[in-house]
Amino acid sequence: MRITLGLDSTSLTRRYPRLAVLATLFMAFVAPLGLYIGALVFFPLNTPERLDAMAKQWLGFDLAASHYRHLVYAVFLLLVAFVAVNFTAVFGGVSTWVERRVAGRMQSRIGPNRTSAAGFLAWVADAVKMVLKEDTVPASADQLLFRGAPYFSMVGLLLPFVVMPFGESVVATNMNVGVFYIMAVTAFVVVGILISGWSSNSNWALFGAVRGAAQVISYEIPAGIALMVPVLMAGSLSMQDIVRAQGGMPWDWFVFRNPAAFVAFFISVTSSLAEGNRTPFDLPEAESELVAGYHAEYSGFRLAIFLMVEWANMWIMAGLAVTLFLGGWQVPFVASETYKAALGAGLVPTPSWFGLQALSMLVFSLKTWGLVIVFIWLRWTLPRVRVDQMMSLCWKYLVPGAFLCFVVTLLWQLLVPPLGNTVTGVVLSLVAFVLLAKFLLATYRNIGRVKGDRVDLTNW
């Protein structure tokens, strides 16, 4: 007699292979699609004026005059928050699976491939395991702070989603100080790290926390100055305005618009890696030295939150870089001003607005995922740097470099006519294209260097 639990995924997938494929497809496409549709519906509606207008148009109800209008607004705010929180959780989970599969392949392994089709649901299994584990608090820890630390990290992760532009109009709030706001609130993560390290009453955790604080505070400077470059080029701190100042094609992206921005892009990505504690800058949790660093004493759900923050932070880092340097949600061949003019003149049908939103969200997500995969790829390429190397990289190279980019951009904006921007954009994007081709060629040649190796995509 065989006893199987309902949650025993191995036996379930053995018995019903189609069920496994269906569950995988559901989790891989339908659930994220639901989140995207939620974002598409709730994010643009999230202003009192639009809600009032919608209530008047569709329900014939004057919401603005109602006593309960703040309640309705609050409900919509909660819906937006719900979508954002779930988005981070699902993204954090899926990225762990992507990371493990990419890492496996890069190390000539396979990675998790048994839980459901292609092992995709491994992240759900991990999350369930984490949640079911006991949440212990060390006896000598500062109870309140120890329990409270994950909330700070979580808040630091979630707040940037308020201004993260997912699509043409799909943004929770178009804040006019968006970039500044993101720089300010991401510091919450390090507050959580410091609190957790201090309250754990453990040497390893305290070392990790102090390292984290030193690292994040140092790298705020080059990151902030490098982020000023696209701000200067767009003349606005609002994330949406910065995207609107760019275009859909690569030569319209800020990264190629002037040479200083090209350098600033790399400075900004390096600094955000350091701020997000990603390898090669994961010193706060260097497992060879500090066990697990600031979250060494955590277990169960609170540890799950720390890990989720760490992985979901990749979306913030990548999304910020995509928004500021890589054209954000700008759809190639569809300029949003031209589209708006056409919509106003009645040249295109109104439902196509949703099409544009969906397309722009797709473009933004693809670019962001691409950058996330580059982060993962970097992690499995580079060894961890030492503390002194990290500090010298920041203060000797990134800070002067960022200042130089800043000054060059100022002069460029003053001295170079708009045509110069376009010419530079075309030239630099061509250079980038040639470099990419050379890179892929070098990669292909590397395969032949090992005797008997060739391009072979089997054994998944």
Partner 1 sequence: MPMTEALREYFGHITDVVKTFWEGMTVTLSYMVRRPITVQYPDRTAQRVADTLPSRYRGLLEVDINVCTGCMACERACPISVIKISTDKDPSNLKQRVIAQFDIDESKCMFCGLCVEPCPTGAIQHTREFESTMKSVDNLVFRWIPDPKNPAPFYRPVKGQDAPRAPVGEILRQRMAKADWTARGGIFPVTGPERKG
Q: Which is nearer to partner 1, 107 or 143 (CB)?
A: 107
CB of 278 to partner 1, least distance (A): 15
Distance CA 109, CA 367 (A): 27
Amino acid at 190: V
Q: Residue 249: which residues within 8 A CB-CB, separation 6 or more?
A: 332, 333
Amino acid at 234: A
CB of 197 to partner 1, least distance (A): 30
Q: Which is nearer to partner 1, 59 or 442 (CB)?
A: 442
If DSSP codes are grouped into helix, strand and coil, which group holds residue 87?
A: helix
Q: Which is nearer to partner 1, 82 or 444 (CB)?
A: 444
CB of 458 to partner 1, least distance (A): 6
Dmax (CA) of the chain: 82
Taking alpha carbons only, the member of 229, 259, 232 closest to residue 321 is 229
Q: CB of 148 within 8 A of CB of 137?
A: no
CB of 443 to partner 1, least distance (A): 5
CB of 319 to partner 1, least distance (A): 22
Torsion of CA 27, 28, 32, 34, to 10 degrees: -60
Torsion of CA 343, 349, 353, 356, to 10 degrees: -100
If DSSP codes are grouped into helix, strand and coil, which group holds residue 245?
A: coil
Taking alpha carbons only, the member of 5, 321, 337, 289 closest to residue 182 is 321
Q: Which is nearer to partner 1, 66 or 381 (CB)?
A: 381
Which positions lie near partner 1, rule CB under 8 A?
A: 1-2, 102, 104-110, 377-378, 380-382, 396-397, 439, 442-444, 446-447, 450, 453-459
Q: Which is nearer to partner 1, 1 or 419 (CB)?
A: 1
Q: What one-character DSSP code corresponds to residue 235?
A: T
CB of 445 to partner 1, least distance (A): 8
Q: Which is nearer to partner 1, 145 or 378 (CB)?
A: 378
CB of 441 to partner 1, least distance (A): 9
